[in-house]
Structure 1
């Protein structure tokens, strides 16, 4: 028995029929780089040598580094089409504990529009060109030929996954795959801007701030609202390199959800302005910040409906 066969049998061990590894090998043969997912459908954590980027990360990551770790570290960046790696002893333990298979869409030359609910699916059918579709538990994956930057929460219930991302493998789907349209590219506005020295990439004048005078119908205390808002703004301020737009969406959605049972008004317009300002101050273009925050507020209302 060859070393590769022994490794493959080791990886198959303790899994009912080795189906996940066989799926991964089939994907690799088709040019789709797979990786195992652990409980919770998350990538496996880094080994001690790679923890906290001690290894310098993998060469194809945002911070290109020298890591040559044989284990499936670094999430999506570990995905590979090399069958020797997939069946290696270093990956065997991961396959034994895996609960699903994922793949790196950017590595396969595709972009996945992840539609998380029925409303998002309806929006896609009315807006985006038809392409290959894979049903998911709550929505659909629309797969286009071509790659782009990934971004979460570009709209309520919509993520764009391509470069530097992973997607759970749920089958080949149906329909003919078409080229990545500008309508999808336009969903992702570049937010990884570097603030100008001594300033910011974009700036807006001082806007209204939230206080009790603009929230006469709010059932919460001023201290409660202000504390939550300040914590949310701190999360946005911390995103100095990337992700501030997505963080602003999440903060807006969370804060707005606290007021869905209030008679109103609750001063959400002022809360919106404070979040937008926080995002702009760390380099997010104002147009993107406003769209992200507005989508977050809308998502909270839709969820409560």
Structure 2
């Protein structure tokens, strides 16, 4: 990165702190910088053994570890030597919405944007690469994949700073607060609720109507699971939704059954392994599988 680009990002971050916005550097891939050695791994270090800050707690490390938990409004911290490497690697600026008493409804595609315009109260909107961020005043718990293409970023989450957006900021409505609860009541597809170690694995006994070879199915599944497992900081739930939707779409032309519920259980387990609560993982994968079926 050029000095000019790095200085521009740091200036943006410093300007945001003047509005009370907790900020942090993000890498070119939109992810946070990696934790330092003292905060990495399962062994308790300076952060008390919370490598992804899934649970609240103090961390005395001066580096920008733990993604959203590192976001700060302190200019001295942002310009400190401990943060210099992170700014050299940064591709953009992120912020912690919940720390500013905000909620971002992340609409990831045109269909999600169309749904929001019909369903949610209008508020400040920020264009993104594929959709929009709708910004509401008020914080709530963060949830991934509350419906196809929709994530909620507030507490325990970060979002990219893409500009101030347009329009007045509306108070967080009940319609947004209710989205996770509505999804919790969605009946899951059979076979994805239990996490029993004795569950079936995918083979021809559960996929008698699948047109694909076993190698094709297993290769696609392993690639999808790998995408979920690398999301150790954030986004594993959304990735699990995307993998489930893609895999289900591959089987749209099969006479069935294809054993999608068994494949879905593997995706759920992968998401849970990187810290996604199992009810959220089940919901994301269930929506992904059923969403692909509805889209065909």
Match of residue 61, structure 2, among 24, 49, 69: 69
The residue that corresponds to 1:35 in the other structure is 24
The residue that corresponds to 1:89 in the other structure is 81
Q: Does 1:138 align with 2:134?
A: no
Match of residue 247, structure 2, among 238, 247, 255: 255
Indicate the larger mover: 289-298 or 85-94.
289-298
Q: 1:114: Cα distance to partner?
A: 0.5
The residue that corresponds to 2:212 in the other structure is 220
Q: Does 1:56 align with 2:47?
A: yes
Mapped partners of 1:274, 1:95: distance in 2: 40
Q: Which has the larger radius of gyration?
A: 1
Q: 1:151: Cα distance to partner?
A: 1.6
The two structures have a TM-score, normalised by structure 2, of: 0.74
Q: 1:255: Cα distance to partner?
A: 2.9
Contact 1:33 1:103 in 2 (8 A): yes
Q: 1:229: Cα distance to partner?
A: 7.2
Q: Where do 5+ consecutive residues of structure 1 fail to align?
A: 1-11, 193-201, 237-242
Q: Where do 5+ consecutive residues of structure 2 fail to align?
A: 185-192, 229-234
Contact 2:268 2:282 in 1 (8 A): no
Q: Deviations over 1:225-253 (max 9, x none)?
A: 589779989x99xxxxxx99767635532
The two structures have a TM-score, normalised by structure 1, of: 0.72
Mapped partners of 1:277, 1:17: distance in 2: 41
Aligned residues: 272
Q: Deviations over 1:109-133 (max 9, x none)?
A: 1110111111110011111111110
Match of residue 35, structure 2, among 41, 46, 61: 46
Contact 1:113 1:159 in 2 (8 A): yes
Q: Deviations over 1:196-227 (max 9, x none)?
A: xxxxxx879xx999775775652114576589
Alpha carbons of structure 1 residues 289 and 297: separation in structure 2 relative to 1, 3 Å: same
Mapped partners of 1:284, 1:17: distance in 2: 39
Alpha carbons of structure 1 residues 265 and 46: separation in structure 2 relative to 1, 3 Å: same
SS in 1 for 2:140: coil
Mapped partners of 1:278, 1:140: distance in 2: 27
Alpha carbons of structure 1 residues 138 and 33: separation in structure 2 relative to 1, 3 Å: same
Match of residue 24, structure 1, among 10, 13, 17: 13
Mapped partners of 2:27, 2:194: distance in 1: 43
Q: 1:259: Cα distance to partner?
A: 1.4
Q: 1:137: Cα distance to partner?
A: 1.1
Alpha carbons of structure 1 residues 82 and 120: separation in structure 2 relative to 1, 3 Å: same
The residue that corresponds to 2:172 in the other structure is 180
The residue that corresponds to 2:255 in the other structure is 265
Mapped partners of 1:232, 1:16: distance in 2: 34
